[in-house]
Structure 1
Amino acid sequence: MENLKAYIESGVLELYVLGDLSPEEALSVEEMAAKHPEIRDELAAIEEAMEQYAYQNAIEPSADVESKLFEKLGLTDIETEANQATQSTPVYVEETRIVPLDSSSGSIKVLRYALVACVALLIVSTAALFITYNKLNDAHDQIASLNLDKQKFAGVVSKMEFENQGLENIAAMADSKEWATIRLEGQAYSPSSKMKVYWNKKDKSVLINYVAMDLPKADPKHEYQLWALVDGKPVSLGVFGSSDSTGREALVKMQAIEKAQAFAVTLEPMGGSVNPTMDKLTVMGGV
């Protein structure tokens, strides 16, 4: 159940919904969904959440878009201008009567309606372009946000894959009476640091756990060195890199030791030191 919870929280289901997994990875997710109702429910919840996000962030066009565009185009007084043009229509004199041209019929009326129709079409087209432009900008922002989230999910999945490399071995060791788990706590040099060392009581082998390791990143000129305290004297068990590197196995074997009262880690120059640098004592724990 814990492994299933970790799988759901890893971010791989979000990547599946976004379509960012390889065909093999997507098939693996579908197989997990077929076996576990919890996976199917989580996928449905993710899809619904992304759909709701899209709806909630949609931008409605302003109600006065048409009037503002009308004003900018200088077309707010079309009817008035048409009437003024009609009033300026030339007249013919016949005997003593003045006969104006009939502005309500013929080509002037048709032209006026055509002009109004053209302006209306222009307004609708401009408004549609304006709305589309706003939606494109909003879509661009959403895509940028989704890309950022996708990168975060990818980082979570990468970390999860690294941690799972030794997960089965760690679980087996926890159930075995042959292995002792030694928790190393932070010292004055780095109080928040921590890590775990596994010591086999039978064959005396020693493993360090990169999954449960939290040490400061070492610079290129230094690396960490593991020590065993044997009858009050430090014995080197080898050097290793800091926990930020995921290019190695989750469990790394160090030098074996017959007996030990405690384990400790110091920061040393590349290649290690003959004696520990005590002012760089990072973590330590008793057996």
Structure 2
Amino acid sequence: MENLKAFIESGVLELYVLGDLSPEETLRVKELASQHQEVRDELAAIEYAMEEFAMQNAVQPSEDVEAKLFQKLGINIDEETNSVSDLPLQAEPKIVSLDHSNAKMRSLRYALVACVALLIVSTAALFITYSKLTDAHDQIASLNLDKEKFAGVVSKLEYNNRGLNNLVEMNESKDWATIKMQGQAISPQSKMNVYWNKKNKDVIINYLAMDLPKADAQHEYQLWALVNGKPVSLGVFGKTDSTSRDALLKMQTIQEAQAFAVTLEPMGGSVNPTMEKLTVMGGV
């Protein structure tokens, strides 16, 4: 019964009376009407309401218009009796009943409220999911950063360990010459070791065996080789804190050298050594 009531209030019967249903829908209405008295009563009420509405709002045409219309339709009018012969059945006026509008409006309101509630719940769920994803992304980025830092520390320790092993090998090898440089007048307590390979002419400084005053932000140290009485630059190096650098640092190669020296120079180095900033020096 509930389904039948909903069917009656759906507006399908009004469309049936107006002739606006498809053949399949029309057949279905006829079947239900043959089975249920409520459907037949509703159809009769709709037809009666439409007829009453049409009669109440009918407009009487003028005699001239009426005559021309009947003539166009091929209908003869008896002037004495004012009767019409061969008058075909007129199509029923297509008037849409509004009796079921309240039920439809209620259904639309409920649907709208449900849609708004669903939208609010979905928006809240999306916001919570986005927040969780953002937090997870930040945690992953933090873990990756910690992983990179740890990998860097491990790599540095491995490199320094190799550097220490290389120092042992260099001290035991006859190919490497160890030049021990002593502090000069500006810094008598300073000391530093330079390793020079007699075969491939590589020059390496040892941060672990270095004790130089810490350079400020505007200066850095520069290594020189004394070749036939003339200084030749072998490159610059910065702070002497061994905890922030590798154990060994390769400098420029030199084919011949009678001595090595280090001076404190402006950032980037100098073309000629600043002798008053001579820090350490040692002969080959």
TM-score, normalised with respect to structure 1: 0.43
Structure possessing the higher radius of gyration over alpha carbons: 2
TM-score, normalised with respect to structure 2: 0.44
